[in-house]
Amino acid sequence: MDWNVIVSVNQYGYMAVRDFLHDYGKVKSTDFFNVLVMRVEDIEQFLDDMESAFSTADPVMKHIGHIMPVTDSFIYQSPEEFEQQAKEIVTHWLDKLAGQHFYVRMHRRGFKGRLSSIDEERFLDEFILDSLEQQGKPPAKLDFEDPDTVIALETVGQEAGLSLWSREQLVRYPFLKLK
């Protein structure tokens, strides 16, 4: 589908949100109820545009449940392939995670019975903690109450996307809904 943003829509607002988002990028429907995917050219600009739309109380915004841009994505065919590719992406973030309080949050759409959001979150949490220890980097700590960093993991069928968010970004963009 070539997406870098996923949007969940609250009941009764699907068409209005889809039409609204067309001004910001290419929007596609998915096979999942009230879930849209997008391709935007500039994620930072898109986030700023959404921040403005939410702050001006645009009536369409009340129908948006969750907006999540992703910076890295992949296609997978099995749970093992999913975990391997997710680990490869997260490995590039280890320096940013060293000494940080963090957690992984996964929103799974599809692959029911084959992937568990809770199990995959735990798997990546443990991978990060173990990898930092093995590399002799400052240890990170799981913290669901006041994290420095959150890793978002989104799936749509057999496509996945990940992104890394700082505390400052989570405060600035509450529509990410990771806290």
**β-bridge pairing 5-9 and 64-69:** antiparallel
Q: Is residue 112 part of a domain?
A: yes
In whole numbers, what is the pLDDT of the chain averaged over residues? 94
State residue 1's pLDDT score.
62
Least confident interval from 5-19, 90-104, 122-136: 5-19
Q: Is residue 91 part of a domain?
A: yes
pTM given for the model: 0.92
Domain that holds residue 134: 72-173
Same domain, 59 and 139: no
178 lies in a domain? Answer: no
The neighbour count for residue 35, using CB atoms within 10 Å, is 20
CATH number at residue 83: 3.30.2300.10
Q: 103 with 159, same domain? A: yes
Give every CB contact of residue 34 below 8 A, 6+ residues apart in sequence.
Answer: 8, 9, 10, 11, 14, 65
Cα 62 to Cα 92: distance, rounded to the nearest angstrom? 36
Is 112 found in the same domain as 32? no
- 88 plus 148 within the same structural domain: yes
Rounded CA separation 97/150 (Å):
9
Q: Say how many domains are in the chain.
A: 2
* Residues 16-58: tens digit of each pLDDT: 999 999 999 999 999 999 999 999 999 999 999 999 998 887 7
**Helices 117-134 and 79-91, packing angle to 10 deg:** 40
How many Å separate Cα 112 from the centre of its chain? 18
* Whether residues 79 and 160 fall in one domain: yes
